[in-house]
Amino acid sequence: MPDKAKWCNCCLVNWMKCFHCDNCGMMVFFENEHCVKCGESLGFYPDTLEMKTLQKVTPAGSWRNCANKDKYQVCNWMVAGNDSSSFCLACSLNEIIPDLTVAGNRERWYKLELAKRRCLYTFLQLGLSFLAGEGNGRPALHFRFLGDAPGSQPVLTGHEKGIITINIAEADEDERERRRLKLHEPYRTLVGHIRHESGHYYWDRLIANSPHLPKFRELFGDERIDYNESLQRYYQQGPAADWDGRTVTAYASLHPWEDWAETWAHYLHIVDTCETAAGFGLTVATDGSTASTTDFDKLLSAWLPLACAVNFINRGMGLPDLYPFIITDAVAQKLRFIHELVQTESKLK
């Protein structure tokens, strides 16, 4: 986990997602493996959440490339020199990777890894546990990236007992767009999938059999209602008639578990986007609010005008809204609950 001393209590984080090459000062992206200006190799260091060139790391040999970079060029996270694993923190969570003998699967895997690492960055930034031995013996987070096999049932994206499964077809933009239109969804991305499924993971880790359960039921409903019956009803009859007043998406009205997972994903959307905006010095709030790890009202006050502004920018380019959702008072109360829970559970508190 990042060094607690490097974190700021008044703003979202001290390490904004606006990275620079430590050799020449050029701005670089979270996904970069090389600086486009000086050509130096770059890596992401999960202990400090920084992008750095290996030549600047001291002492020499204290970090090395992940095996998935050296062999497959799908990772830019670094491995501590004293770690017995050949894989970085992110890649060590993989249980199953795509069959790389299939044409196009390495490229699909690369896209999945980009989305996964962005989500893990946010978990690290928020101090959320996802490893074994953390959090009262709850299971560690793991990933399976699977493709449909001829003659077999299609792979379903989902979560079960700490394992997030993603159908690798979602990495193909045309297929993902086809599914989005078929399901009448305003938003469907790889990052969105992982954020949603991580919500189910963190429900098991943070809510189940905890003192937070009564408050969860008050806000989201009783999760003991039959899930399969709720699922059938949703796909046969559609979402609840009043969904847009009480849930952030239509799908969230299916069951309290899905309401939680959808709201959790949107909380991560908000935190990540506000952090990125702050990293570039973008401020839209008219009251001077800045995103805060400790004040939900400031976080929401920073997010709402920012979301409105970027939607208008997208429309100016003839693109769909970046954030095509409405945060009602009911949704805001659920987001507040998640925010306060994250603050309580954070290992960085």
Confidence of residue 74 (pLDDT cuts 50, 70, 90): very high
**More reliable by pLDDT, 306 or 12:** 306
The whole-number pLDDT of residue 288 equals 55
Q: Give the span between the Cα atoms of 230 and 65, in whole angstroms.
A: 46
Structural element, H or E, at residue 45? strand 42-45
DSSP 116-160: HHHHHHHHHHHT---STTSSTTPPPPEEEEE---TTSPPPPPEEE
Confidence of residue 134 (pLDDT cuts 50, 70, 90): low
Considering the chain, what is the average pLDDT of its residues? 90
Q: Of 24-33, 114-123, 196-205, 278-287, which range is least confident?
A: 278-287
Domain coordinates in residue numbering, the chain = 7-12+16-83, 90-206, 211-349
> Is residue 13 over pLDDT 50?
no
> Is residue 5 over pLDDT 50?
no
- pTM beyond 0.85: yes
What average pLDDT does the segment 139-161 reach? 95
Sign of the Cα torsion 236, 237, 242, 245 reads positive
Q: Over the stretch 213-259, which tens digit does the pLDDT of each residue have?
A: 999 999 999 999 999 999 999 999 999 999 999 999 999 999 999 99
The whole-number pLDDT of residue 285 equals 60
Confidence of residue 7 (pLDDT cuts 50, 70, 90): very low
> Is residue 313 over pLDDT 80?
yes
Q: How many CB atoms lie within 10 A of CB 13?
A: 21
Cα separation values, 104 from 50, 71, 76, 91, 143, Å: 30, 16, 20, 20, 19
What average pLDDT does the segment 96-119 reach? 97
Q: Which of 243, 272, 269, 270 is nearest to 258 (CA)?
A: 243
Q: Give the span between the Cα atoms of 195 and 193, in whole angstroms.
A: 6
